[in-house]
Structure 1
Amino acid sequence: MEQEIKKKRFKVPHTYVIIFTLIIITAVLTYVIPAGQYQKMEIETETGTRTVVDPASYANVDSNPAQVFDVLKAFPKGLGAAQGIVFFIFIVGGSFNVINKTGAIEAGISKVALGLKGAEALLIPIIVFIFSIGGGTIGMAEEAIVFVPIGIALARSLGYDAVTGMAIVALGAATGFVSGFMNPFTVGVAQGIAGIPMFSGIGLRLAIWAASLVLVIGYIYRYANKVKKDPTKSIVYDLEQEEKDKTIDLSNIRKMTGRDILVLLVFFAGMGLIVFGVFKYGWYITEIASIFLAMGIVSGIVARMSFDDIAKNFISGAKDMATGALVVGLARGLLVIMEGSMIIDTIVYSLASVLAGLPKAISAVGMLIVQSLINFAIPSGSGQAATTMPIMAPLADVLGLTRQTAVLAYQFGDGISNSIIPTSGVLLANLSVAKIKYEQWFKFVAPLILLWTAVAAVFMVIAVLINYA
């Protein structure tokens, strides 16, 4: 009885409760933090005109603190602001359920899993490496969401859990994103604003990528191995019990049929088209969701489902995504409050000012910490670059640091914390698709984020020592 009381006392609140509490706290802070604003200006770069902030233009403006009604409006406004990702989750969830109901994915994964039987440990480094290439080149983030269900199905078939399956995909992409060795959307934008050649300094970034790969693969493998030995050690053990009937039984699998092969061809053709569109035409979540919708419909037809069954399976899959999709809008409400009260620029200005006068190495690490904190308010990589780099680049000059070091601090601050902050729409979308609660993921990933940040701090000091340029 005493143990039960203790467990209830220390129970982690529901994700919605956590985020709504943060919205209330943020609203209270709008009465404490002065409103302020930077003026925007246009600059010419190698890739054209770009809008950035004028670092010398910060000024206080009339205070506009959040009212009680603003707190309540934050949720619907957040849903409106994040509608792209919210509807993306619904469409991908519904379409994937149609594809999944054909049985082709299960049959294909069974064959792959059987091929890895006895060498399950290879799954983790192979998948993490593949997705890290996407993260380091095209800034893969939203694009990886559609692969999470496959990663989970494959992980479960080999005796792991949903956290392992999501981690090999999401953290794999994050591994490349953190180094950003050839990411035009983050490093490219930041370097352009800082006035240094695009993708310069790639040597150190490749070393960061390698170090991040070792860290992430080792971390996931340690957890996955623990779960494989004792499934009750899984952070999502309750979920695994609920989804037990969906786990592929490798001892009793059906043979792959001609229809399965056709469905898989449709699936891989769709995935190939998505990759081509992202690289060639800069497709984003609207285009990706459209292709996934087509994949679901065509797969259902190929598998000889009736149109009614396709519709019913789509609705069922979308319905399963409701909790996670809505939490994206709720989390966006945090930014709605900060934007409406005009305190984001004040936060950026104040944090940047703290760094002035510190020793070089400490200033460099401080830049990393500042960028990580700012990422909570500005989770968009390119948006954060446009807001902070016009301030951080000249600040680096004043502190005696290279501008390349300032870009590195931005990249670390933006990349690492994306895997844990509740304002990251991509993270919440991944969790929605995986049916993992935010607090469960936080428990899994928090130690890794601390380790990763420590590694990043070491590289920041190295950048100072080698006068990274």
Structure 2
Amino acid sequence: MEKSNARKKGWKSFLKIPHVFVLLFLIVLAASVLTYVIPAGEFDRFEDPETGRTLVEAGSYEAVEQDPVGIFEIPGLFITGLNEAADIILFIFVVGGAFQIITATGVFDAVVRKATALLGNKEILVIPLFLILFSIGGFTIGMTVEGMALVPLAIALARSLGYDAITGLSMVLVGVYSGFISGLLNPFNVGVAQGIAELPIYSGLWLRAIILVVLLLAASVYIIRYAQRVKKDPSKSYVVEMEQNSKIDENLLGSSKFQTRHYFVLLSVVLGLGVLVWGVMNRAWYINDIAALFLAMGVVAGLCAKMNPSRIAEEFIEGAKAFTLGALIVGVARAIPVALEEGLIIDSVINGLANMIVMLPAALQVLGVYGAQTVINFFINSGSGQAAATMPIIVPLGDLIGMTRQTGVLTFQLGDGFTNLIFPTGTTLMAYLAASGVPYVKWVKFIWPLILIWFIIGAVFIVIADYIQY
């Protein structure tokens, strides 16, 4: 009997979902195996003299000598991945440290308690309001990783209302991507794709605006239902262990009221975020600039709270330390596309999918393009990078199958967008998970039904676009 029980425990232990590093290693291993299976090939590339972007030359694909990733090369893939993701990793450490300084001032706790009192019995409205707010950043300046810095505040607010960390995380992450995916004025996916397709920049905005509204409605209903379920029964949370630990920390905070120093700290944060929006829109700031800004925000906030320099340094180190696992996950995940690039099979995947689309029945070809973009997004997670690699192929392919170029851009933007919230190759997703402390496996369990709903919504809009010759 004891042996039987021991055997059962052994199987349960074996079948238990492994650590995220183990999952990512298995994916890297699978990607390396694919470099032996998928024929190597490359497109010719050229530099666009007007934009300076490197584009793929349609119809130029040719097979090249196979160069598979060897078993002894796999450790090097992780080092290369960490190196290529160095800017994101540094960003995570700096933002984590800066926000720990701000958190230590007590301002977030004071803001959360004030917001809770003002919302009263309409507290559930915080979810759609946050989604709308962050979607604006997504569809205007193409905000993605920039919103990560506000995740701790969103989680603190969600917990104060009786929800959990996943609710707070999704209020920011899903909101940002609702705007980014619809892409009304997004310069990184729609702007680049329309430029390559020789369409007026930001043309066809009306349909994308409708898509934004539908995505926000679907996301609001989905997240609200989950949040209400968690509030009614905390054991229904996908991160219940994490929440139990957080409650212990929150009890230590005690009551917190606004003091004069809190107003100065809050002013420094608000001014800093204003500078962030200005820098991104007018000076094309990206990772390094934003990291420097948040570092300055943290130091200024600490000084406003009358912390001495040593205390500020200690809080920064404590915050950066808490983000170590998440930062490393970003670099390890980057090893997946590195394996595919070094094995020279990414272009083969793109070319193979394009050939399959042509063979589909006419009624399914536009959906075939949509599905192909979704698959390619696993291999090329960058929106602008995917546009540069695939739009030069989609444009002539669309002309061949009777798909308008505007519809081609739409299939690209939706195919590129939805799975950014679930594919482990997405460094932005991994950065958000690092900021929240939510395990990747738990996030997938929460988000996959919404991704499926969004994917179906996208398919419906693409069929409509094709039907009306959008």
Partner residue in 2 for 1:329: 331
Q: 335-344 or 89-98: which moved more? A: 335-344
Task: Report the secondary structure of 1:200's partner residue.
Answer: coil
Partner residue in 1 for 2:429: 427
Q: Deviations over 1:12-68 (max 9, x none)?
A: 1111111100001111111111111111123355xx443211011111111111012
Q: 2:117 is aligned with what amino acid?
A: L
What is the rounded CA distance, in whole Å, between the counterparts of 1:148 and 1:378 in structure 2?
26
What is the rounded CA distance, in whole Å, between the counterparts of 2:157 and 2:256 in structure 1?
16
Q: Deviations over 1:324-345 (max 9, x none)?
A: 0000000000111111111111
What is the rounded CA distance, in whole Å, between the counterparts of 2:207 and 2:145 in structure 1?
26
Match of 1:399 among 398, 401, 405: 401
Q: Tell me if 1:114 matches 2:117.
A: yes
Task: Report the secondary structure of 1:184's partner residue.
Answer: coil
What is the rounded CA distance, in whole Å, between the counterparts of 1:360 and 1:407 in structure 2?
19
What is the rounded CA distance, in whole Å, between the counterparts of 1:289 and 1:79 in structure 2?
18
Deviation at 1:151, TM superposition (A): 0.7
Q: 1:242 is aligned with what amino acid?
A: N
What is the rounded CA distance, in whole Å, between the counterparts of 2:200 and 2:140 in structure 1?
16
Q: Tell me if 1:449 matches 2:451.
A: yes
TM-score, reference length from structure 2: 0.96
Deviation at 1:300, TM superposition (A): 1.2
What is the rounded CA distance, in whole Å, between the counterparts of 2:405 and 2:298 in structure 1?
47
Q: Tell me if 1:314 matches 2:319.
A: no
Q: Tell me if 1:123 matches 2:126.
A: yes
Q: 1:187 is aligned with what amino acid?
A: V
Match of 2:365 among 363, 366, 372: 363
Counterparts in 2 of 1:243-322, with a 5 A limit? 243-247=246-250, 253-322=255-324
Match of 1:73 among 66, 70, 76: 76
What is the rounded CA distance, in whole Å, between the counterparts of 1:248 and 1:387 in structure 2?
52
- Judge conservation of contact 1:378–1:384 (CA < 8 Å) in 2: yes
Q: 1:450 is aligned with what amino acid?
A: L
Q: 1:420 is aligned with what amino acid?
A: I
- Judge conservation of contact 2:106–2:256 (CA < 8 Å) in 1: no
Identify if the C-alpha distance between structure 1 residues 130 and 10 changes in structure 2 by more than 3 Å, giving closer, same or farther: same
Partner residue in 1 for 2:147: 144
Deviation at 1:229, TM superposition (A): 0.5
RMSD of aligned alpha carbons: 1.6
- Judge conservation of contact 2:109–2:256 (CA < 8 Å) in 1: no
Deviation at 1:187, TM superposition (A): 0.3
What is the rounded CA distance, in whole Å, between the counterparts of 1:360 and 1:217 in structure 2?
35
Partner residue in 2 for 1:37: 42
What is the rounded CA distance, in whole Å, between the counterparts of 1:208 and 1:248 in structure 2?
42
Match of 1:159 among 156, 159, 162: 162
Task: Report the secondary structure of 1:364's partner residue.
Answer: helix
Deviation at 1:346, TM superposition (A): 0.7
Q: Deviations over 1:228-285 (max 9, x none)?
A: 10000000001101111344799x6322110111111111111111111111111111
Q: Deviations over 1:97-154 (max 9, x none)?
A: 0110111121112111221121111100100011111111111101111111111011
Q: Tell me if 1:102 matches 2:88.
A: no
Partner residue in 2 for 1:185: 188
Q: 1:316 is aligned with what amino acid?
A: E
Task: Report the secondary structure of 1:116's partner residue.
Answer: helix
Partner residue in 2 for 1:226: 229
- Judge conservation of contact 1:117–1:158 (CA < 8 Å) in 2: no
Q: Deviations over 1:387-417 (max 9, x none)?
A: 0000011100111111111111110011101
Match of 1:203 among 201, 206, 209: 206
Task: Report the secondary structure of 2:189's partner residue.
Answer: helix
What is the rounded CA distance, in whole Å, between the counterparts of 1:296 and 1:326 in structure 2?
23
- Judge conservation of contact 1:156–1:248 (CA < 8 Å) in 2: no
What is the rounded CA distance, in whole Å, between the counterparts of 1:249 and 1:112 in structure 2?
20
What is the rounded CA distance, in whole Å, between the counterparts of 1:53 and 1:368 in structure 2?
19
Partner residue in 1 for 2:389: 387
- Judge conservation of contact 2:418–2:451 (CA < 8 Å) in 1: yes
Task: Report the secondary structure of 1:126's partner residue.
Answer: helix
Q: Tell me if 1:11 matches 2:13.
A: no
Deviation at 1:312, TM superposition (A): 1.0
Identity of aligned residues (%): 46
What is the rounded CA distance, in whole Å, between the counterparts of 1:128 and 1:395 in structure 2?
36
What is the rounded CA distance, in whole Å, between the counterparts of 1:460 and 1:190 in structure 2?
16
TM-score, reference length from structure 1: 0.96
Q: 2:217 is aligned with what amino acid?
A: V
Q: Tell me if 1:236 matches 2:234.
A: no
Partner residue in 2 for 1:63: 66
Deviation at 1:9, TM superposition (A): 5.2
**Unpaired segments ≥5 residues, structure 1:** none
Q: 9-18 or 430-439: which moved more? A: 9-18
Q: 2:191 is aligned with what amino acid?
A: G
What is the rounded CA distance, in whole Å, between the counterparts of 2:132 and 2:102 in structure 1?
26
